[in-house]
């Protein structure tokens, strides 16, 4: 069964802290996505990766294919980072499908 597991489910941090959100998945994925859902409900794509590491501003995403694991890191966290972060794995070929994790709700306190 193709599954995506995220941890933690909820995370509270103080402003400035380094944050890590974890995602594990089953074999055979073609790509992994990290999404951010704002408190207002909108969803934004942060990263799509199939190997290695990507960085955008204070956000870093890594993936370890052998361990079937990806992490999203936020450096120098800020209250505006408060959101739900969702990991999604693409299983299958050209007619494959994104399977979503249940999300990690992050709250960054000033």
Partner 1 sequence: DTAVSQTPKYLVTQMGNDKSIKCEQNLGHDTMYWYKQDSKKFLKIMFSYNNKELIINETVPNRFSPKSPDKAHLNLHINSLELGDSAVYFCASSQGGARNSPLHFGNGTRLTVT
Q: Which is nearer to partner 1, 48 or 60 (CB)?
A: 48
31 binds partner 1 (CB under 8 A): yes
60 binds partner 1 (CB under 8 A): no
Cα distance between residue 95 and residue 100, in whole Å: 16
86 binds partner 1 (CB under 8 A): yes
Q: Which range touches partner 1 (CB under 8 A), out of 13-21, 35-43, 62-70, 74-82?
A: 35-43
Beta bridge partners of 35: 45, 86
Beta bridge partners of 80: none
Cα distance between residue 44 and residue 63, in whole Å: 19
Q: Find the shortest distance in angstroms from Cβ 73 to partner 1.
A: 18
The one among 53, 55, 102, 109 contacting partner 1 by CB under 8 A: 102
Read off φ and ψ for residue 81, nearest 5 degrees: -80, -10
Cα distance between residue 32 and residue 6, in whole Å: 13
Contact of 70 with 61, CB cutoff 8 Å: yes
Residues that bind partner 1 (CB under 8 A): 30-31, 33, 35, 37, 41-45, 47-48, 84, 86, 88, 90, 93-98, 100, 102-103
């Amino acid at each position: 069964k193709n599954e995506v597991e995220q941890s933690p489910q909820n995370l509270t941090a103080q402003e400035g802290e380094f944050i890590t959100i974890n995602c594990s998945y089953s074999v055979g994925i073609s790509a992994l996505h990290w999404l951010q859902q704002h408190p207002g409900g909108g969803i934004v794509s942060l990263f799509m990766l199939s190997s290695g590491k990507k960085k955008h501003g204070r956000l870093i995403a890594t993936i370890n294919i052998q361990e079937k694991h990806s992490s999203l890191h936020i450096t120098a966290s800020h209250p505006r980072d408060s959101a739900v972060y969702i990991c999604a794995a693409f299983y299958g070929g050209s007619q494959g499908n994104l399977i979503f994790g249940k999300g990690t709700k992050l709250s960054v306190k000033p």
